[in-house]
Structure 1
């Protein structure tokens, strides 16, 4: 057998082994080092599965009904118009579904009349879920439209015959459904499967489905085995979707119908269902994209390198697939078909199952370096785009004339293969590069869960944080880049289709040697991921006094610790809203004041968890809140409450919760804030030092709200800050800022001079991942190392 002939199957099998088979084999083994997480009951799993299936099929039925009718319309277009429409729909699919959902969601943000109406009447969840439904329909309808445009055979001829026979419109529709039933049902299953494995959209809308429930369990230290029913259902969905997708690819190719129709109705529906959110994102962005490029240039470049790596690997999969499918060797064709199925199955798995397999496998193999470099993301992203490359290779071999060339052995050598199949290889290769690059760049669910700690993480990580924490300017700027990338890939594809020019594949050497910053000495870790006592799931709110430390994480659980780290007690907060507290403080009497962010109130508890009183409600009037974030106590007994959500301000109350006055507004001028996250009171002057997180600065105000100064500017250098969240005075004249975006602490003087930065990105003791808050202990600093699901105690920093 020819050496070159054997090379292609070896490369294809090698890539599939590294990306899929090894993680599945080793990742499926139980881990003895993982924290114990209570397994999800069959009853709970059953309700989640039913909810997932219901949502998926409702969306699939609606999107298929609309998309199929529009696809039939597209089938009657002229060839050039048809190609333009198909490319436009592919570009729409490349834009992440969460982008469309988020833009629709932000058309009625907090503080608007519509938002106030739905909250007041208890329709908030209904409004969010309506947005979710419309967004997923708007994203998925191009799938049935594309299928119908390629596989619709009846054309104008059959329609004319039906009209001549005098059949009614309803009867003609029934006959059309009967003829297209096989492909139509396959399309419904395909769309439903894609919706079912979506994680990010349902996560943002707080609808518990298979994907985001598995994500939640993983964040708590569990694995895919923690919820076996959900994981089994995820695999079942992937297998069913694979069978139906490959059933579609086995259908005959598109046959041109007689007659042509206008493409205007299709364009109109595209604009209403999918294009309008894109236009809104482009309009809203304005100049914010320039700040994104300035602050996140390193993150964007990291995403570009990863996306290029994914594109290069995808091209290898594509070439090997095409070569094996065109081979005269039955064994090679069999291997190619098996790999097609394998790539499609893994693509339809919920992202959290892939994360669970990857998080375990490379540790067991003894190759931890893979998990700590961008290689892990390249491999993970290939699980979502590899099927595009594999099926593109299958498509190259599907042309009848190409099959004849293969049958007579004209393409036996590699050069003859490349020459004979050049037009199809070029067209499909460019499509594979564009789609792989765009999907990798915008992939959020895998990236956020697997991205190793780094000073420059992929932009998708910052994008997800921005969506969760209501920073629409940053989100629309990032979406602007995604849209540009998706559109550029589509234009490039059309250009090559028309010119049939040569394609140069750009190989990018991905930087795989992480730069580890210097860790703080003598740092000790308190807790770790988990839901048991003394462990945390995304701890965000912390506070301390002379007696104890309080921690609240994203499970809505409050835990108390002694200053030596011993666990004292815990209780579940009785919360009815759609999120959890982001701030907590302890007053001089030992009462625990909670910024109950998503319940729009301040909740005051005693040390046993009993409610003392609460104040505030949803609204923008005096004494009302949108999203309160932190509480601080003034020298004269004032209670300062920071608030964001479109009504950015600092509210001032008495200790009894009686409103006094407020200051600030949404904006970036001297009096403005964009998410004022935390407040620290100067021991000398009583002035407020406020972390103006969205403006990347610290603002000093007098107790009455008069502007004093701005400290720092956006950036990553010393003296600059990126999403400052926590702040605490460690002496009368210096304070520490906890930078969520820069994974570090930074010390400033009250005059605004930066003295030193501490820590950096990492998971070792003394390093941080998206730290949220910092407080003073007895003889140490305590940091909420949120992304690493732990606290860190820093005794050495007290004397620095």
Structure 2
């Protein structure tokens, strides 16, 4: 993991010198100036990627400029210190955890609603979350405590729903938990990195069902499966330190590997530490790259459609983003971690 992070930090320094967060004054819960942001976005995107031709066509930035940028560095309600994971519920409320261990809840416009804290934080803080709409609960990857926690939407801990808590590589044990996904039958898929680099599957009651993966560069292996998402019986996995995406058919008892795409690089269709993944209702896949500091939109088979973002602090630019979600209106919310904020934009029709 240390080596993984060193590579990313080196990439950030190569791309360009960043201002310290104390020098930044991003807009807070206000629409940005579209003309100004567009100019900055295009300048930044051109310097990062240039013009990349795809089958004779130029891939353009998708969704235009961000329509809303909100959040800033701080410890009070409505502010963040390096937010690391985000989930969304059926009412489009956003649940965001940062490196203080706080879970804050906002409406889709960035208005703060409530806050609570995970029970333990000395060993480390969560890096993944998902909202389980069928059971109306928030599931949290309590990474450094080897477990999945569950909360009510108002922050009440549900101890009976916890899975794990013991470090190990046996069934129901975990290394460092990364993320959780829930399928239409209520089964849970929990990723982990470290000694195991695998996915474990549990039934709706939390009973172990299956596991697959293992540390490695070969397909069907992982090096930090950081983000999991399910769409129409397909499990998508952001295999972060292998710089690729893998997908599995989960319609059968034993998950079936479908394929893998992506490689380390800066071109469209390449990845550099993909930390977040989401699927639009139309089936296209959105990948958030911690290292390349951009979001890409791709077909289910990995063909790049477009990209957005560039290193920096202005609206439309990103600084080590960790995740993203799509709401009911097809608006994409990007967790711009080291800018301590969220950016929102709308996908084209």
Please classify the TM superposition score into its range, dividing by the shorter chain length: 0.7 to 0.9
Deviation at 1:302, TM superposition (A): 6.5
CA pair 737-794 structure 1, distance change in 2 beyond 3 A: same
Contact preservation (8 Å) 2:182, 2:230: yes
Task: Give the CA deviation at 1:553.
Answer: 0.3
User: For 1:191-210, what aligned pairs fall within 5 Å after superposition?
Assistant: none
Indicate if the aligned counterparts of 1:552 and 1:581 stay in contact, CA closer than 8 A.
Answer: yes
1:696 aligns with 2:243: yes
For 1:537-556, what aligned pairs fall within 5 Å after superposition? 537-547=81-91, 548-556=93-101
Pair 1:711-2:265 in alignment: no
- Determine the structure 2 residue equivalent to 1:523: 67
Shift of 1:753: 0.9
* Residue 625 of structure 1, CA deviation: 0.5
Aligned to 2:338: 787
Q: Report whether the alignment pairs 1:651 with 2:200.
A: yes
State the 1:575 CA deviation.
Answer: 0.8
- 8 Å Cα contact 2:62/2:348 also seen in 1: no
Higher strand share: 2
Matching of residue 611 in structure 1 with residue 168 in structure 2: no
Q: Which runs of 5+ in 1 are unaligned?
A: 1-101, 104-203, 205-291, 307-354, 361-453, 457-516
Report the TM-score, using the length of structure 2 for normalisation. Answer: 0.80
Q: 1:747 to 1:301 in 2, by over 3 A?
A: closer
Contact conserved, 1:666 with 1:673, CA < 8 A, in 2? yes
C-alpha spacing 1:707/1:535, structure 2 compared with 1 (3 Å)? same
Measured against aligned partners, the alpha-carbon deviations of 1:223-254 in whole angstroms (never above 9, x if no partner) come to: xxxxxxxxxxxxxxxxxxxxxxxxxxxxxxxx
The whole-number CA distance in structure 1 between the counterparts of 2:82 and 2:10 is 27
Matched, 1:579 2:130: no
Is the Cα–Cα contact under 8 Å of residues 541 and 551 in structure 1 kept in the other structure? yes
Unaligned runs of 5+ in 2: 24-46, 50-60
How far apart are residue 523 of structure 1 and its match? 2.8
Aligned partner of 2:227 in structure 1 is 678
**Deviation digits for residues 179-198 of structure 1 (CA, Å, limit 9, x no counterpart):** xxxxxxxxxxxxxxxxxxxx
CA root-mean-square deviation: 2.8
Paired with 1:359 and 1:560, the residues of 2 have a C-alpha distance of: 24
The 5-angstrom pairing of residues 14-25 of structure 1 reads none
Evaluate the alpha carbon distance shift between residue 788 and residue 587 of structure 1 in structure 2; reply closer, same or farther with a 3 A threshold. Answer: same
* Aligned-residue offset at 1:759: 1.5
- Contact preservation (8 Å) 2:262, 2:271: yes
Secondary structure of the residue that 1:570 maps to in structure 2?
Answer: strand
Give the structure with higher Rg (CA).
Answer: 1
1:666 to 215, 232, 250: 215
Other structure's SS at 1:694 match: helix
1:577/1:536 CA distance change after superposition, 3 Å: same
Question: Are the counterparts in 2 of residues 670 and 707 from structure 1 also a CA contact under 8 Å?
Answer: no
> In the TM superposition, what is the alpha-carbon distance from 1:755 to its structure 2 partner?
0.8
Verify the 8 A CA contact 1:740 1:771 in the aligned structure 2.
yes
For residues 230-249 of structure 1, the aligned pairs below 5 Å read none
Please state how far the C-alpha of 1:564 moved relative to its aligned partner: 2.8
TM-score (normalizing by structure 1): 0.36
Give, in whole Å, the separation in 1 of the partners of 2:11 and 2:180: 34
For the 8 Å contact 1:519–1:759, the answer to whether it is kept is no
8 Å contact kept, 2:181–2:229: yes
In structure 2, do the counterparts of structure 1 residues 518 and 663 end up closer, same or farther at CA, with 3 Å as the change threshold?
closer
- RCO (CA 8 Å, sep 6+): is it higher in 1 or 2? 2
Q: Distance in 2 between matches of 1:621 and 1:660?
A: 12
Provide the C-alpha distance between the structure 2 equivalents of 1:298 and 1:607, rounded to a whole number of angstroms.
38
1:519–1:767 Cα contact (<8 Å) kept: no
**Which residue in the other structure is 2:325 paired with?**
775
2:304 paired residue number: 754
